[in-house]
Amino acid sequence: MPDTANSTDQFVRRELQLERFLPYLVNNLADRISTGLSRIYADEYGLSIPEWRVIANLAEHGVLNAKRIVITTGMEKSKVSRAVKSLTDRSLIFQRRTENDNRARDLALTGTGEALYGELVPRALAWELQLLECLSTGEYRDLMHLLGKLREQAGRI
């Protein structure tokens, strides 16, 4: 319960400063980051954010169905559905029957998909590193910690 946020001492401030308003700051940062990173995966590889996320999840966790991707990423299921369709059409992932359930399908990267992922990862990490260059090791640790806490709290509200 920070008293320095938009509050003074123990009294909540009645004014709002956009430059100190967390939702604004986080949104703004997310925007800049998306725009920057999209120069890699969108411009050079023709991937949308949802597509990239589906690929990253499959690369990281192996075989998954769409529902699981929805749960772990928090994306809309329609978003995932479209991404899956598009990636399948481009043969970056493939689908196969799930045992005991004909509604769902198992998804996995194809060879091409894995190759693309293998190309993309170092570039994405390099970009992230460039961004993180402005932080010390300690600051980075703090950041991860804070983001984790906020994410959890935002999920609760």
Partner DNA sequence: ACAAATTAGTTGCATAATGAACTATCTCTG
Partner DNA sequence: CAGAGATAGTTCATTATGCAACTAATTTGT
Is 50:75 a contact under the CB 8 Å cutoff? yes
d(CA 79, CA 73) in angstroms, rounded, equals 11
Q: Is 26 in the site for its own copies (CB under 8 A)?
A: yes
Convert residues 118-137 into a mask of x (bound to its own copies by CB under 8 A) and - (unbound): ---xx-xxxxxxxxxxxxxx
Which residues sit opposite 96 in a β-bridge? 106
Is 62:73 a contact under the CB 8 Å cutoff? no
By C-beta, is 3 or 60 nearer to DNA? 60
d(CA 105, CA 99) in angstroms, rounded, equals 9
Q: How many positions of this chain bind DNA (CB under 7 A)? A: 25
Please pick, from the candidates 82, 110, 114, 131, the single residue that binds DNA as defined by CB under 7 A: 82
Show the tokens assigned to 55.
């690929």
Convert residues 114-153 into a mask of x (bound to DNA by CB under 7 A) and - (unbound): ----------------------------------------
Q: How many positions of this chain bind its own copies (CB under 8 A)? A: 71
Show the tokens assigned to 93.
């992932």
Please pick, from the candidates 8, 20, 71, 111, the single residue that binds its own copies as defined by CB under 8 A: 20
Residue 77: count other Cβ atoms within 10 Å of its Cβ: 12
Please pick, from the candidates 56, 81, 124, 131, the single residue that binds DNA as defined by CB under 7 A: 81
In the chain, the N- to C-terminal Cα span, in Å, equals 15
Interface with DNA (CB under 7 A): 35, 48-50, 65-68, 70, 76-82, 84-85, 98, 100-105
